């Protein structure tokens, strides 16, 4: 029961923060050179409930780039732009069982597998409507404004660092162009994808964005609708099955709520009709998920009885 939980929620977060602060495993992402500069000791946990209560501990105002967590919101915008049926013809909803950056495509159905892995996310971002690159970027930034409740900006040094080293993503885009899965202008799509990944947020923002998805698409702090209610189930379903990459199955089993990670070390998780959770700790495990983030979410799920099929 959330009301009973609320009184002690802050102390739950404080205990988890001090317990996992000493966990020193994992390594910060370094394949984007600018990302490697982050302080590995940064650590924050934040919960925002659908009625707007905020509980947060640690470095929750520390800024970082949203990275793959942006994929969830871009998918929502693509659904709003084109509708579910069309988007499904361009990007599947099947987990790959492979790493986030694996070069696998569903050649049979001529689609990338899902919007949570890089290939599918690049294809998804290429669907976002707008007259030219600037308008498309502005529509993405405006979307993030609705989810966070404030204006957001692109970290240009992270963006240029990824653009100049992102050969693997560029290769995927070319492969998708070859198969006719993505339209001609792939450099523009990649630029937009890299910028979307370089949007600056903090752990508090992650929890507010997650709480917005938990709250049927309405930001619980500002009261503004961020995404059409009818797409919440699509967004959360694909997060649940694909959001943690090749850890998605084990995550569904042990944590049991939809979530998305990013190589910045962030994870956000959604407890429908209850709360959004954000965790930030840069060191990653071999699958690219935050080591402390995974531990914190597993512990939180147990302690607050969040698993959808245990407590739902
Ligand atoms: N921008 C990163 C990339 O495309 C995002 C990956 C991630 O966060 N898992 O490689």
* 94-103, 150-159, 202-211, range with the lowest pLDDT: 94-103
Mutate to test the pocket of ligand 1, among 263, 265, 268, 288 (most ligand atoms within 8 A of CB): 263
* 13-17, 106-110, 189-193, 292-296, range with the lowest pLDDT: 106-110
pLDDT at 148 over 70: yes
Nearest CA to ligand 1 atom 4: 118
> What's the pLDDT at 311?
67
Q: With contact defined as beta carbons under 8 Å apart, do 236 and 256 qualify?
A: no
> What's the pLDDT at 42?
98
CA 180 to ligand 1 centroid distance, Å: 23
> What's the pLDDT at 303?
94
> What's the pLDDT at 107?
87
User: Token pair 């309405």 is at which residue?
Assistant: 218
CA 274 to ligand 1 centroid distance, Å: 28
The residues annotated as belonging to the active site are: 68, 71, 193, 245, 263
> What's the pLDDT at 184?
79
Find the DSSP H helices in 38-185: 70-82, 84-90, 118-125, 132-148, 156-165, 167-178
* pTM for this entry: 0.96
Tell me the average pLDDT of the chain: 95
pLDDT digits (tens, 9 = 90+) for 202-230: 999 999 999 999 999 999 999 999 999 99
Q: How far is CA 39 from the centre of its chain?
A: 21
Q: Please, what's the largest Cα pairwise distance for the chain? A: 56
ipTM score over 0.85, yes or no: yes
**Closest CA relative to residue 74, chosen from 187, 195, 219:** 195
Average pLDDT on 229-234 reads 98
**Closest CA relative to residue 210, chosen from 130, 291, 267:** 267
- Work out which ligand 1 atom sits closest to the CA atom of 264: 8
Q: Is 219 in the pocket of ligand 1 (CB under 6 A)?
A: no
Average pLDDT on 253-272 reads 98
Mutate to test the pocket of ligand 1, among 28, 96, 100, 239 (most ligand atoms within 8 A of CB): 100
Average pLDDT on 74-91 reads 98
> What's the pLDDT at 6?
60
Q: What percent of the chain has pLDDT over 90?
A: 94
> What's the pLDDT at 241?
97
Q: How confident is residue 308, by pLDDT bands cut at 50, 70 and 90?
A: very high
CA angle 154, 160, 164 (to 5 degrees): 150
Cβ contacts of 135 within 8 Å, gap of 6 or more = none
CA dihedral 215, 263, 190, 154 (to 10 degrees): 70
* Rounded CA separation 209/105 (Å): 29
Q: Is 169 in the pocket of ligand 1 (CB under 6 A)?
A: yes
Partners of 268 in the β-ladder: 260, 278
pLDDT at 145 over 60: yes
Question: Which helix or strand (DSSP H or E) is residue 51 part of?
Answer: none
Q: Is 265 in the pocket of ligand 1 (CB under 6 A)?
A: no
Average pLDDT on 19-33 reads 95
- Work out which ligand 1 atom sits closest to the CA atom of 245: 9
* Rounded CA separation 189/178 (Å): 15
CA 55 to ligand 1 centroid distance, Å: 28
């Amino acid at each position: 029961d959330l009301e009973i939980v609320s009184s002690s929620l802050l102390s739950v977060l404080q205990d988890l923060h001090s317990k996992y602060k000493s966990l020193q495993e994992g390594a910060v992402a370094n394949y984007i050179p600018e990302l490697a500069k982050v302080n590995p000791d940064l650590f924050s946990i934040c919960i925002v409930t659908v009625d707007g209560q905020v509980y947060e501990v640690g470095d929750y105002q520390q800024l970082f780039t949203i990275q793959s967590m942006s994929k969830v919101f871009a998918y929502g915008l693509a659904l709003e732009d084109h509708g579910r049926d069309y988007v499904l013809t361009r990007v599947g909803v099947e987990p790959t069982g492979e790493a986030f950056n694996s070069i696998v495509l569903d050649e049979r159905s001529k689609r990338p597998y899902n919007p949570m892995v890089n290939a599918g996310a690049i294809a998804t971002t290429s669907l976002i409507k707008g007259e030219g690159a600037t308008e498309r970027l502005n529509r993405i930034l405006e979307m993030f404004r609705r989810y966070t409740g404030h204006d957001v900006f692109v970290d240009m040094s992270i963006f240029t660092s990824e653009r100049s080293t992102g050969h693997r993503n560029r290769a995927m885009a070319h492969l998708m162009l070859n198969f006719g899965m993505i339209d001609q202008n792939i450099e523009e799509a990649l630029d937009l994808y890299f910028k979307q990944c370089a949007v600056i947020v903090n752990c508090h923002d992650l929890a507010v964005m997650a709480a917005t998805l938990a709250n049927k698409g309405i930001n619980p702090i500002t009261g503004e609708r961020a995404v059409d209610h009818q797409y919440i189930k699509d967004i959360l379903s694909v997060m649940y099955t694909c959001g943690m990459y090749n850890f998605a199955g084990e995550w569904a089993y042990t944590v049991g709520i939809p979530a998305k990670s990013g190589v910045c070390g962030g994870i956000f998780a959604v407890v429908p009709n209850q709360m959004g959770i954000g965790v930030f700790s840069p060191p990653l495990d071999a699958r690219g998920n935050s080591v402390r983030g995974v531990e914190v979410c597993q512990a939180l799920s147990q302690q607050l009885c969040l698993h959808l099929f245990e407590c739902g």
